[in-house]
């Protein structure tokens, strides 16, 4: 089964649930655009990324669907992510996250070997449910059953059609799935009175997503500059990621050493 998701690498295995549109697979790219606010200056890339996972508060537009979950919204492309951000009033100052499922990297930094578990809400017309929620229209009984079924399956994320970008796909990540993501890059684009300033922080390089762990300690500063926060090296996140990364490096070295004997 190939070509199911446009943001998935070609040739990956996809395992499907017997009856439901639930898939287990890997090697994805995800994008998220948010309005850049002054309060983001000085925050590390790690802090900014973790801020993408939010408690589903009562004032959230989809709070009635998953009231007890932490969620994060992503898209299949920068085009889709920007369209969604613009629709929700992002303005001209945008920060774009490019993430991938860490399990796909030759050098993983997260302790999870399980591939992503995705419910394909496109087959369930989930976008229509979201549209009803946005317009404060009550769900019918069948739609409520769909929501309950999703909760029972405990997936990593839910894929559904974008209403802002034709052909685009959005992903609603639950906390379990969000914790499987690592960053490839974070871009900043500021447009002040027609003057554009840009900056980017690259957290992984090459086709095998080789991580640059210290980049998670970078922050954006005024006039779209970047700065390293060395306190990040003392954080539990950095120590934990570095430990797993070094183990994966050693496994690869041992593999090639035995191969060359």
pLDDT tens for 155-194 read 898 888 898 999 999 999 999 999 999 999 999 999 987 8
User: What is the rounded average pLDDT of the residues 133-162?
Assistant: 84
Q: Is residue 252 part of a domain?
A: yes
Inter-residue contact 23 to 120 (CB < 8 Å): yes
Of 16 and 96, the one with more pLDDT: 96
Q: What angle do CA 76, 79, 83 make, to 5 degrees?
A: 105
Confidence of residue 18 (pLDDT cuts 50, 70, 90): very low
Confidence of residue 17 (pLDDT cuts 50, 70, 90): very low
DSSP annotation of 231 reads G
Confidence of residue 62 (pLDDT cuts 50, 70, 90): low
Q: Is residue 154 part of a domain?
A: yes
Q: What is the mean pLDDT of the chain?
A: 85
Q: Residue 247 corresponds to which tokens in the numbers above?
A: 């183990």
What share of the chain in percent tops pLDDT 90?
A: 49
Domain housing 124: 15-259
Q: Is residue 7 part of a domain?
A: no
SS3 for 207-222 is CCCEECHHHHHEEEEC
The answer on pLDDT for 24 being more than 80 is no
* Structural domains in the chain (count): 1
Given this model, what pLDDT does residue 1 score?
47
Confidence of residue 5 (pLDDT cuts 50, 70, 90): low
Q: Residue 205 corresponds to which tokens in the numbers above?
A: 């390089």
User: What is the rounded average pLDDT of the residues 3-13?
Assistant: 53
Confidence of residue 207 (pLDDT cuts 50, 70, 90): confident
End-to-end CA distance of the chain: 38
The pLDDT tens digits of the residues spanning 219-261 come to 999 988 999 999 999 999 999 999 999 998 888 777 666 666 5
Confidence of residue 64 (pLDDT cuts 50, 70, 90): low
Beta pairing class for 116-120 and 94-101 = unpaired
Q: Is residue 1 part of a domain?
A: no
Q: Is residue 6 part of a domain?
A: no
Q: Is residue 2 part of a domain?
A: no
Q: Is residue 5 part of a domain?
A: no
Q: Write down the pTM of the prediction.
A: 0.85
What share of the chain in percent tops pLDDT 70?
A: 83
Alpha-carbon gap, residue 24 to 114, rounded angstroms: 9
Given this model, what pLDDT does residue 101 score?
92
Of 242 and 14, the one with more pLDDT: 242
Closest of 258, 119, 120, 241 to residue 179, by C-alpha: 241
Backbone angles phi, psi at 52, to 5 degrees: -75, -15
> Residue 133: which H helix or E strand, with range?
helix 126-134
The pLDDT tens digits of the residues spanning 113-128 come to 788 888 887 766 777 7
Q: Is residue 8 part of a domain?
A: no
């Amino acid at each position: 089964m190939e070509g199911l998701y446009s943001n998935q690498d070609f040739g990956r295995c996809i395992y499907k649930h017997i009856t439901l549109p639930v898939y287990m697979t890997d090697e994805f790219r995800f994008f998220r655009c948010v309005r850049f606010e002054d309060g983001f200056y000085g925050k590390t890339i790690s802090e900014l990324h973790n801020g993408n996972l939010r408690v589903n508060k009562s004032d959230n537009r989809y709070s009635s669907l998953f009231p007890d979950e932490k969620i994060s919204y992503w898209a299949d492309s920068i085009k889709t992510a920007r369209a969604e951000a613009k629709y929700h009033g992002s303005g001209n100052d945008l920060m774009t996250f490019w993430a991938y499922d860490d399990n796909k990297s030759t050098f993983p930094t997260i302790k999870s070997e399980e591939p992503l578990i995705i419910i394909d809400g496109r087959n369930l017309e989930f976008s229509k449910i979201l549209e009803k929620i946005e317009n404060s229209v009550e769900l019918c009984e069948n739609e409520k059953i769909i929501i309950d079924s999703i909760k029972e399956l405990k997936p990593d994320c839910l894929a559904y059609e974008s209403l802002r970008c034709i052909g685009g796909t959005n992903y609603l990540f639950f906390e379990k799935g969000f914790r499987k993501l690592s960053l490839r890059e974070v871009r900043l684009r500021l447009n002040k009175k027609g003057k554009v300033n840009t900056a980017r922080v690259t957290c992984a390089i090459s086709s095998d997503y080789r991580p640059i762990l210290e980049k998670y300690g970078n922050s954006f500063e005024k006039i779209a500059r970047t700065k390293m926060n060395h306190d990040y090296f003392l954080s539990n996140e950095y120590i934990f990621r570095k430990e797993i990364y070094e183990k994966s490096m050693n496994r690869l070295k041992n593999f090639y050493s035995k191969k060359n004997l």
